[in-house]
Amino acid sequence: MAGIAVTALALASCSSDDDDSSDSSSSSSDSSDSSDSSAAGDDTSSDDSSSEDSGSGDGDLVGAPDGFDLTDPGSHLKNGESAYVVTQQAEYEGETFAQQYWKITARDSTEKASGEIPLDDEDAADVDHFICMNYDVEFPGQGEASDPESYQLVTEPDMGAVDDDGNGANYILMGGSEDCDIPEADLLPSDAGELETGKVYRGAVRSWESKSDDGITPTGLSFTYDVESAGLDDVDDILWN
């Protein structure tokens, strides 16, 4: 049985040009993890299909597929448009893991009734309905690890639900995209050796709208870079809204 932790939380701005803005957000959690958690987001204005010079990576992309054109940090895209991004598992005990390349396309959101994701009664009282912020993800390829024989995990794109200004919206801890009725066959595998180029995988960020208007209702998606080797560990999010 899942549960939610509803807490008013200050949002610290991650914008490169406004360090003083703040807002509030609510977070949701399963009963196995009912601790409070903050949902941090960017405080940026949204210009559809625009791109900002907001700290582009200055490192190396290793093994990028031919024609792969990395989407700039801070880019603002419309629903249905695609971003080309890279992820990488953090170095561990001197071992460097492969950079993995992705094409992410935001899709229409869907709603689920409050009872469709079981919650503890006391936590469910403020949930009007759930919102699945859906996206497609394709795997064009990956670079090489320092030890090609080592087991490689899939480093999934770090996706979040946001409002029109890029502020982090309500979200649910624990669980995953399967709560949004995505078949297991369409989910990303955990083993990088099982990734298929050309296949369209599906994912969803699970959010919710409050009956009392607390927190932040999502209107779009974000992707967060975290690839230090490519200089992409302290840059603005890509936004779809």
Q: What is the pLDDT of residue 121?
A: 66
Q: Nearest Cα to 162, choosing from 79, 54, 74, 41?
A: 41
- HEC profile of the chain: CEECCCCCEECCCCCCCCCCCCCEECEEEECCCCCCCCCCCCCCCCCCCECCCCCCCCCCCCCCCCCCCCCCCCCEECCCCEEEEEEECCCECCECCCEEEEEEEECCCEEEEHHHCCECHHHHCCEEEEEEEEEEEEEEEECCCCCCCCCCECCCCEEEEECCCCCECCEECCCCHHHHCCCHHHCCCCEHHHCCCCCEEEEEEEEEEECCCCCCCCCEEEEECCEHHHCECCCCCEEEC
Q: Please state, in angstroms and rounded to a whole number, the distance separating the CA atoms of residues 220 and 41.
A: 12
Q: What is the pLDDT of residue 206?
A: 93
pTM of the model: 0.78
Q: What is the pLDDT of residue 45?
A: 36
Q: What is the pLDDT of residue 107?
A: 98
User: Per-10-residue mean pLDDT for the chain, 241 residues long?
Assistant: 38 34 41 36 39 49 94 98 97 92 98 84 81 98 91 96 95 87 97 96 95 91 96 96 91
Count of domains forming the chain: 1
Q: What is the pLDDT of residue 26?
A: 43
Q: Given the structure tokens 């490169």, which residue do they identify?
A: 16
Query: Residue 169: CB partners within 8 Å, gap ≥ 6?
Result: 25, 39, 41, 160, 161, 162, 163, 207, 215, 216, 217, 218, 219
Which residue range(s) make up the domain with 128? 2-240
